[in-house]
A and B are shown apart, each in its own frame.
Chain A
């Protein structure tokens, strides 16, 4: 079980949280001017690193705050 640090509530069990996927993906400002390849990259392609992954979590069974944190996908250790 992961122990996840909510910036508002402090360390809590993983079961209180929802995983929100890769952080930092920004919806293109003008999708209509994008080519298919760029739109595909935004919609479907993922970094999926073996190493530090910047990811979003939501403290969904607590304060409901969304936040971004780094986690090493090899060890599950938290990284700033």
Chain B
């Protein structure tokens, strides 16, 4: 793999950009791998990368039923933050944020991580109390967080309507300055390239159709590109987790819903941070291309259609215009939906399954993108050692039996 650098860019610029190589090799399936990762999204690719980079396991395949970056990795609003209330979540998501801070260097790939801050607005007394509590909880966990009074909110984000006559008066906000956005495709491409360079097979258009089980283990994986055996199997398929668990013969506490988002036409820089509102449920940032990226909540019924319903769009645009009246003449360019796997406690599931050599990483629901490096990092450790990474240990499937849930509903800075 040739290293990307300013010098390489200059050299290619002078020679007509004809010398660039493919970022990763298009592999064909081999009959056996030490580890097979099912799911070539950001989390799966990150897992494969850390297996090779940190645990010396490079006989690894990543099976992707579509194309790299075509699932939820390319269907989110690119927000990265770690302002979660509970200790277990704060540690896990802040571990991810720490990895984000060095990710472009580590991968030799510009993931365009921009620490522009994430602000969560408070519109009523309940929001204010919850916000201040969360700021304190985060600080106790060593996560940066601060409380802004309305004047400071206005100064930090001038286009925001904070007046007393506003439809949703702003009574303050929490701010995490280390949070921000990253380029979602680049994260998938960067991990794929780095993993491929270490010998990981990235296999696209390869859908898992079944498992052959023997003695409480996965003996073979059946795919649309033939069958293969694996020492260990990691399942990282987000919205399709229940479908694969069903093939493997166990049940999961997740439900698949559509989470949709949309972007406006591109405009000049107008918003240099991420603004989220829990109470009116909309979040917005501006991409480097100039589009406003706008998201909201899930559709409340189950769906695998990757297609959202219009009432959610209507609600989120109404909320957006109340917060930013100046956006009223923007036209919306395109929308999309992803299938997210929602857990009863809005926290992910990372760890072992009822099958001995099958490991699972799912349930990230509406908040998986921000966790991509951390998720892959702790899951690679979990697979390589056969026991959970200390940060992942509280997130095992067994918590639904023990009752030790990590209830981030409404506590995670945004309603799910």
Contact = CB atoms under 8 A, between A and B. Distances in A.
Interface stretch (B45-53, B134-142, B217-225, B252-260): B252-260
Contact of B401 (A40, A48, A53): A40
B395 to A, nearest CB: 14
A48 B310 CA distance: 23
Interface residues of B, number: 23
Interface residues on A, range: 20 to 34
Nearest to B343: A44
A15 to B, nearest CB: 5
Given A1-B310, A45-B252, A73 B302 contact: yes
A73 B303 contact: yes
A45 B251 contact: yes
A44 B309 contact: no
A26 B307 CA distance: 31
Nearest to B254: A48
Contacts of B243: 50
Contacts, number: 63
A63 interface: no
The 10 closest A-B pairs by CB, nearest first: A48-B242, A44-B253, A45-B251, A19-B300, A19-B301, A40-B401, A44-B400, A50-B304, A1-B310, A73-B304
Interface of B: 240, 242-243, 251-256, 300-305, 307, 309-311, 344, 400-402
Interface of A: 1-2, 14-15, 18-19, 21, 36-37, 40-41, 43-50, 53, 55, 71, 73-76
28 contacts: A1-B309, A1-B311, A2-B301, A14-B309, A18-B300, A21-B255, A37-B401, A44-B253, A44-B400, A45-B253, A46-B251, A46-B254, A46-B255, A47-B251, A48-B252, A48-B254, A48-B256, A49-B242, A50-B242, A50-B304, A53-B302, A55-B301, A55-B302, A73-B256, A73-B302, A73-B305, A74-B304, A75-B305
